[in-house]
Amino acid sequence: MARDEVPEARGTTDAFRADVIDGLARRPRAIPARWFYDRRGSELFEAITELPEYYPTRTETALLKRIAGDLAAQVGAGRAVVEFGSGSSTKTPILLDAIRPSAYVPIDISGDFMRASVRDLAARFPRLPIIPVEADFTAPVTLPVEIRDLPKLGFFPGSTIGNMGAFSSTDILRAMRASLGEGAMLLIGMDRIKQVETLECAYDDAAGVTAAFNLNLLERINRELGGTIPVDAFRHRAVWNPEAARIEMHLDATRDVDFVVDDMPFAIKAGEGIHTENSHKYGSADARTLLRAGGWTPIAEWTDPDDLFAIFLAKA
């Protein structure tokens, strides 16, 4: 059976088409960032995490290593670690080494990618029960029966929360609380507000990897939705929006363009753009307010020496 004949893939394509057509028709034009992550987009994101300008991944990884002992003392042994949007699970071994959990449950909407990274983890932690769940964690998830009676530690690194708006980020924290139940804890990474130059360079690197990541969205539309977008007519732009405390990514047309997506005609004038991503950054007070709004009480906060990135531990 071809990939586009699989019912689930068809559902994904329908949702992608609806978001793209709706997003190109509205003003300002905006397409949700979750559509970045096809296979090519996921590869480009992995490459972003290794860029010299993209400080979040290496800073959070180093911070996790530094706080491992403290974290173990606060969390205790024997919890089931539930990782939301586990993806390639690169930070997971640091946490699993630190807290010695009873089980590990990665949850990701992209099952293939998750199962491949789980294989590596299983080799590294042969005695740890690993139970992957393929699900959309933006709504409450039914966890495997095997961990029903264990206390849970939710793990949501990478400041992925920052890619959501205020309502969605609160909703997702509430969904996590509902999924994890009473007595749960949450370990979450949240990127800090910092110098504009540092932020804008992190999202507009010299090698052009983030530009390629952003433009891949248009290539994906052409590949999967029969689009005729002239990708070379668009330029990547990353800009700090101080009122909203977020980095925004846009694709701006450098000349007037006409194209179709799924037989729907669109025209974009030179200088107009498509808003493709928000990456919110948080001061300590904002982060705590968000956690509380999402049903979590912060109990510890750690940052790196340069205060670039924070990790919070919260309890339900």
CB of 297 to ligand AVI, least distance (A): 24
Report the distance separating Cα 297 and Cα 276, nearest Å: 32
Contact status: 279 vs ligand AVI (CB under 6 A): yes
Per DSSP, helices labelled H in 76-132 are 92-99, 111-124
Regarding 57 and contact with ligand AVI (CB under 6 A), the answer is: no
* Comparison of 29 and 246: residue with beta carbon closer to ligand AVI: 246
Least spacing, CB of residue 221 vs ligand AVI, in Å: 18
Closest CA to 177 of 158, 200, 152, 212: 152
The Cα–Cα gap between 170 and 164 comes to: 9
The span from the CA of 137 to the CA of 42, in Å, is: 18
Tell me which residues in 86-125 interact with ligand AVI (CB under 6 A): none
- Note whether 162 binds ligand AVI by CB under 6 A: yes
Q: Which two tokens stand for residue 106?
A: 């990665």
Please state, in angstroms and rounded to a whole number, the distance separating the CA atoms of residues 282 and 267.
36
Please choose, out of 100-108, 145-153, 159-167, 180-188, the segment that lies near ligand AVI by the rule CB under 6 A: 159-167
Q: Which is nearer to ligand AVI, 97 or 136 (CB)?
A: 136
* Preceding peptide of 157 cis, ω within 30°: no
* DSSP E strands, the chain: 29-30, 80-84, 103-108, 133-134, 152-156, 185-191, 234-241, 246-253, 257-261, 264-268, 273-280, 297-303, 309-315
Query: Judged by CB, which is closer to ligand AVI: 86, or 163?
Result: 163
Which residue in the set 117, 159, 170, 276 belongs to the binding site for ligand AVI (CB under 6 A)? 159
Instruction: Give the C-alpha separation, 239 to 1, whole Å.
Output: 43
Among the listed ranges 23-31, 130-138, 157-165, 264-272, the one in contact with ligand AVI (CB under 6 A) is: 157-165
Which residue in the set 172, 277, 282, 298 belongs to the binding site for ligand AVI (CB under 6 A)? 277
Q: Judged by CB under 6 A, which stretch of 59-67, 158-166, 223-231, 305-313 contacts ligand AVI?
A: 158-166
Q: Which residue is nearest to ligand AVI (CB)?
A: 279
Residues that bind ligand AVI (rule: CB under 6 A) add up to a total of 11
- Gap between the Cα atoms of 297 and 99, Å rounded: 20
Cα 122 from Cα 3, distance rounded (Å)? 28
Among 86, 89, 163, 179, indicate the residue that binds ligand AVI (CB under 6 A).
163
Our CB check for ligand AVI shows the closer of 106 and 151 to be: 106
CB of 261 to ligand AVI, least distance (A): 23
- Report the alpha-carbon distance of residue 144 to residue 3 in Å, rounded: 28
d(CA 28, CA 22): 11
Our CB check for ligand AVI shows the closer of 56 and 106 to be 56
In the list 84, 203, 234, 240, the residue contacting ligand AVI (rule: CB under 6 A) is 203
From residue 165, how far is each of 156, 172, 237, 281 by CA, in Å? 16, 10, 20, 11
Which range of residues in 13-21, 160-168, 259-267, 286-294 is near ligand AVI by CB under 6 A? 160-168
- For ligand AVI, the closer of residues 132 and 162 by Cβ is 162
The residues that touch ligand AVI, with contacts defined as CB under 6 A, are: 48, 56, 158-160, 162-163, 203, 210, 277, 279
